[in-house]
Amino acid sequence: YTMKFDKLTVNVDSAVANLAFGSRKPNEMGVRELRRNAIAAEQAGKDSAKLEFALHSRFSQPLAALVFVLFSVSLSLLLRHQSKAVGILLGLLSVGGYQGVLLWAKSSARQGVIHPTLGAWLPDIIFGALGLILFLLLDRTGFRTIRSRFNRTSRD
């Protein structure tokens, strides 16, 4: 059975209409718009992983600079006796490793293997934890050096 209409009106929430007919990409949207579209996509039964990943990336990617400062400074201070070429090479490898983890996490989040929130924050978590471990190792070795110097001066 086929029906014909002269005019068909369907009342749709504006967020769902924007989701269905909007042409903006997630990287062109603001935080509020991403949040609104992610909620609308979830309510409409559509996959919202791409929108959720983009939303959390708005906060995790700027934090990456702080993570790299923690990681790189600790690594360079631990290897201060090595050549400068080794430091540059390790810096490039760490940036490449971060980008590799970011690409893996992004594709895994889009495929539903990991949650989009975890996918956006995973590179920061991994490199932040490594940076913190390196910082604690640096602090421990620095403390030993200061303590040994203090013990030498007190004996003299």
Q: What pLDDT digit, counting tens, does each position of 22-45 carry?
A: 567 777 788 888 888 888 877 887
Q: What pLDDT digit, counting tens, does each position of 68-99 carry?
A: 888 888 887 777 766 777 777 887 888 899 99
Is pLDDT at 67 greater than 60 in this prediction? yes
Report the distance separating Cα 62 and Cα 94, nearest Å: 17
Query: Helix 14-21 and helix 31-43: axis angle, to 10°?
Result: 100
Q: What pLDDT digit, counting tens, does each position of 98-110 carry?
A: 999 999 999 998 8
Q: What SS3 state is found at 10?
A: coil
Look at residue 102 in the predicted model and tell me its pLDDT. Answer: 92
List the structure tokens of 55: 């939303």
Is pLDDT at 140 greater than 60 in this prediction? yes
Of the chain, the percentage scoring pLDDT greater than 70 comes to 81
Look at residue 110 in the predicted model and tell me its pLDDT. Answer: 85
Is pLDDT at 5 greater than 60 in this prediction? yes
Cut 0.95: pTM above it: no
Say how many Å lie between the first and final Cα of the chain, rounded: 104
Report the distance separating Cα 96 and Cα 155, nearest Å: 48
